[in-house]
Amino acid sequence: MTLQNRTNHLAGIFLVLVFLISPPAAVSAEDVVLMLSNNNWPPFFFGRESDTEKGIAREILEHCLTKMGYAFEFKFYTLRRMHHYMEQGKLDIAIYSYKKSREAYLIYGQEPLFSAVYRPIVRADSDIKISSISDFDNYKLGHLAGLQYSDEFFEYTMKRAKEGTLVIMPSEEVVLDLLLKQHIDVFVSTDTSILYRAKQRGILDKIKILDFEIRTSIYRVTFSKKSKSIKNKKDFLKQLDQCIRTLKAEGHYKKILDKYR
């Protein structure tokens, strides 16, 4: 081997070694398209229910992710599929209330996005009174598939399901229709969502929300632990939290809320 060939050979080996030991380039925001769940849950998300309305939570997320420089895509999934995809990492971001068991597959942000109160919904002319979970025993109970409420009430719905006395439907809109048609006597949902739906449909005088509180839930942004889109998920959520705080402090958050009242 000539001196020139030997020099070229050594230079080639050096370049290969440099390539092998050099750390991979960091993924920038421009390289990532974040996948987010878009539920049917007016006025927070509109999923497939509207081509024009986005919803409170989606508007906030779009504003902050755009400001942070990330591309994103919202896709509709049923609640059950959303849970499954967040566990698998096929979805990056979804909005959840806190449950200890969810820490196995979710990383929670700290700043509340919104809160919601779960209460029983009945027909306006109903004389049903609910002051404890056992009071539901004598009534035809509707249930939105995938909704978990409080731990105690969720266990109660599972018991009713095993007994064959729970009417399970794929959407809140269908459950509301069943109530008005007297196929069920009562169901539980968030008062904000039901009031919004009833107002839009002109049926506020047809329903009644009872005072009994199943649960008050605070919803935050969560990131799937198995997602590969963002390496430092906690730092990402800190930035997103700060953006939400800024929206609140500057009054933009309230303007979004007021649009859906």
Is 3 inside any structural domain? no
Question: Rounded to an integer, what distance in angstroms lies between the CA atom of residue 182 and that of residue 195?
Answer: 19
How confident is the model at residue 30, as a pLDDT?
52
Question: Rounded to an integer, what distance in angstroms lies between the CA atom of residue 150 and that of residue 119?
Answer: 11
104 and 227 housed in the same domain: yes
Question: Rounded to an integer, what distance in angstroms lies between the CA atom of residue 246 and that of residue 260?
Answer: 20
Q: What is the pLDDT of residues 26-84, one digit of tens each?
A: 445 657 899 999 998 999 999 988 888 999 999 999 999 999 999 999 999 988 999 99
How confident is the model at residue 246, as a pLDDT?
98
Query: Of 128 and 79, which is predicted with more confidence?
Result: 128
123 and 207 housed in the same domain: yes
Let me know how long the chain is. Answer: 261
Question: At 35, is the secondary structure helix, strand, or coil?
Answer: strand
123 and 212 housed in the same domain: yes
Is 196 inside any structural domain? yes
- Domain CATH for 142: 3.40.190.10
Enclosing domain of residue 199: 116-216
Task: Look up residue 56 and give its two tokens.
Answer: 């409170």
245 and 176 housed in the same domain: no
Contact 55, 43 (CB under 8 A): yes
Is 19 inside any structural domain? no
How confident is the model at residue 261, as a pLDDT?
84
Query: Per the structure, how many domains does the chain have?
Result: 2
C-alpha angle 195/147/222, rounded to 5°? 95
Is 251 inside any structural domain? yes
* Cα-Cα-Cα-Cα dihedral sign, residues 13, 14, 17, 19: negative
